[in-house]
Chains A and B, each alone.
Chain A
């Protein structure tokens, strides 16, 4: 028999060698293709992360919550986070001057398992668009004004003690601004203060009390009704408005007599409602507290220690009596019929630009954040370090 061992050729080693070389080439090609795929996926995810960050910023702006975000102290910040189908966004909101808010939005891709995790960071500079209600004095009105008893109308700007850090700067205003200061009188211990004490402005007309920038009275009252704070149904007398909490301890904004809490740290401390009473007369008595903007389509009579931070706009007359009423902010009373108005007892109207500003900026209906018209969008990944 012949030995087959000695007849072996080189075809098999050559074939194996060729296969190895081809396998190496295929592997290299596969590796390159995979690398290419990874680069493509990474590029896709990176762009997706920008879009997720943008979605977060858009979401925050679209659902701007003046109650919560207006309560962020100057240079303070807060962060809102949510998830989408493809990732997580986180938007840090910094209050830089109560009008300009800086949004730092981060988008992170969670899809793609081990290939996920792309993160991108964008910035958006926003400004609040808000109702231009700008009371020029502690009390702006028309007709005869009599301040008596120990009542005070003070135009010197005051920041409520518990609100330190929420506003910045003060600007004193007139105590009383009317169309005829000769009709403004003080008797007994009644006091008017401010810079100046009284100021006459012949341009005060009906529109002064009904037109606020782009918003008019009808629009303001409609917004109040949309907020669910048309309190006309409570009748002429409203007693002891107080903050109300729901079962979970949160502020219950559905309660008609809940007009917020002047203590910022309280559950209703960031609630600045727009309140409307259709008249013809509203009498608030028996104590009570509140904040925001109170609109009265008729006459307003305060008595019995009512405390309010914000703006009161009255289309009829405005009077006070009894002890302890304190309005911190400003009052505008149209008094188109020029009826004599009296401020008596121990009541006080104290001008506060801080209370005026917060009552507008912290209201969800009256303020909205929008990107600056120009140069609002910042690609933070391209900012030089």
Chain B
């Protein structure tokens, strides 16, 4: 027989104490868990904000530092948007056949990045007098057609058949060795993307195309993105050709609230000095 003393149940008092103590412990644990969860969520949102702001700055740093504002690469600029020409193609002429009044062809080595296409607008470097740099000029021309079946110096090459309308090559000399740049135009701004309620940093091809999100979400109310344009002396300027520095201010915003009840947000400022 088993001793009855060892089989007796809990008394009501014992159960009550256990339940109370258990409730207290569970409550404390739950409180910790909830607090942790909130902190984790807020922290995740903060990390996402940091990553977004860093991504935004990284993208714009890479894109904007190659601008040549003095050559008109800034097409329009406001404190909340920037419309620019970004150089995306590069080639070096290995053969030049310029006829100012007729057809002109520039053959470029088919290096990676030389993917010029018909209808591209390009800049062609005209060296003119080799002994001086004062008469150097970049000519803006249009590629009428591209022949990719040619070679140059034993390597694959592209023949860029140029549109000489307007006598673009009439008064300047382009030589073998001339660099050629092709570009795209983009507009950066803060915009709502599809139906989402939060704004993103977006980029639009040709300045008017579909806005594609690059980074976000940003703070709503137009506070997420701000451009400040400065000249070579660091003074704020509104003249696109005078711009030498672009200050980009990114403010991210997440609908997640922090423990103090505020929107989780982050900020990052970057000063981009144009290299060209």
Interface residues of A (CB under 8 A from B): 2-3, 6, 9-11, 14-15, 18, 21-22, 25, 28-29, 32-33, 36, 39-40, 43, 47, 75, 94, 96-100, 102, 123, 125, 127, 129-130, 132, 134, 168, 213, 370, 372-385
Contacts and interface: CB of A to CB of B under 8 A. Distances in A.
Contact of A382 (B18, B47, B66, B177): B66
Contact of B276 (A2, A375, A381): A375
Contact of B130 (A25, A39, A99): A99
A132 B131 contact: yes
Give the 9 A-B CB pairs with smallest separation, nearest first.
Answer: A97-B177, A96-B177, A383-B113, A377-B275, A132-B131, A100-B177, A18-B29, A99-B130, A125-B179
B153 interface: yes
Contacts of A14: 25-26, 29
B88 interface: yes
B43 interface: yes
B269 interface: no
Interface residues of B, number: 56
Interface centre among B87, B89, B177 (most CB of A within 10 A): B177
A265 B244 CA distance: 46
B61 to A, nearest CB: 8
A374 B276 contact: yes
Contacts of A134: 131
Contact of A375 (B50, B54, B63, B181): B181
B63 A382 contact: yes
Contacts of A32: 43-44, 47
The majority secondary structure among interface residues of chain A is: mixed
A27 B140 CA distance: 57
Interface string B27-71: 001001100110010011001001100100010011101101011
Nearest to A124: B275
Contacts, number: 130
A96 B94 CA distance: 8
Interface in B107-135: 112-113, 115, 123, 125, 127, 130-133
A123 B61 CA distance: 17
Contacts of B136: 127, 372-374
A100 B68 contact: no
A381 B175 contact: no
The majority secondary structure among interface residues of chain B is: mixed
Contacts of A33: 47
A377 B131 CA distance: 21
Contacts of A29: 40, 43
B176 A383 contact: no
29 contacts: A3-B6, A14-B26, A18-B29, A21-B36, A25-B36, A25-B37, A28-B40, A32-B43, A75-B94, A94-B92, A96-B176, A96-B177, A97-B175, A98-B177, A100-B179, A123-B90, A370-B133, A372-B136, A372-B179, A375-B181, A376-B276, A377-B276, A379-B62, A382-B62, A382-B63, A382-B88, A384-B89, A384-B113, A384-B115
Interface centre among B18, B36, B50 (most CB of A within 10 A): B36
A47 B68 CA distance: 20
B178 interface: yes
Contacts of B218: none
Contacts of B178: 97, 100
B250 interface: no
Interface in B86-113: 86-90, 92, 94, 112-113
A132 B178 CA distance: 20
A40 B54 contact: yes
A350 to B, nearest CB: 23
Contacts of A96: 92, 176-177
Contact of B89 (A43, A47, A373, A383): A383
Given A36-B47, A382-B63, A375 B88 contact: no
B222 interface: no
B70 A374 contact: yes
B136 to A, nearest CB: 6
B138 interface: yes
A127 B90 contact: no
Contacts of A18: 29, 32-33
Contacts of B61: 47
B182 to A, nearest CB: 8
B90 A36 contact: no
A132 B112 contact: no
Contact of B131 (A28, A40, A94, A130): A130
Nearest to A95: B177
Nearest to A6: B6
Contact of B112 (A10, A98, A375, A383): A383
B131 A213 contact: yes
A132 B132 contact: yes
Nearest to B18: A9
A127 B133 contact: yes
A379 B62 CA distance: 8
B68 A43 contact: no
B66 A377 contact: yes
B22 interface: yes
Contacts of B58: 43
Nearest to B61: A47
Contacts of B44: 32
A132 B134 CA distance: 13
A180 B177 CA distance: 40
A94 B21 CA distance: 80
